[in-house]
Amino acid sequence: DTGVSQNPRHKITKRGQNVTFRCDPISEHNRLYWYRQTLGQGPEFLTYFQNEAQLEKSRLLSDRFSAERPKGSFSTLEIQRTEQGDSAMYLCASGHRDRGEETQYFGPGTRLLVL
């Protein structure tokens, strides 16, 4: 257990529905990352926050995706109008950058299946 938690662990939804995932990072970490991982592939970066500011978004993050981190604590990732291609494992990681060094600690992920 890395100390990063994600909820729910599994989500099945119908195409066109909206879904929201939550990530609770390690409390002293100021950085929070979202990744997507499909079967047989490595994680792909989606977006990250430093405190409450969203500093970078991948081009993989279409307009249907939005992420927030109010108050620099937990974060939510929402997918609107889900498509079957959104089916994947969504991973959250937290990290702390100190003097240029950082390590990310991953949560258990939320597995999304869009029918």
| Interface contacts to another protein, rule CB under 8 A | 2, 33, 40-45, 48, 55-56, 89, 91, 93, 100-109
Q: Alpha-carbon distance 87 to 73, whole Å?
A: 26
Least distance from C-beta 44 to another protein, angstroms? 8
The answer to whether 78 and 66 are in contact (CB under 8 A) is yes
The length of the chain in residues reads 115
Complex with another protein: residue 56 or 68, whichever CB lies closer: 56
Complex with another protein: residue 24 or 44, whichever CB lies closer: 44
Beta-bridged to residue 24, according to DSSP, are 5
Complex with another protein: residue 63 or 101, whichever CB lies closer: 101
Least distance from C-beta 80 to another protein, angstroms? 26
**Positive or negative, the Cα torsion across 102, 107, 108, 113?**
negative
Least distance from C-beta 73 to another protein, angstroms? 21
Half-sphere exposure of 98 (CA within 13 A, CB side): 7
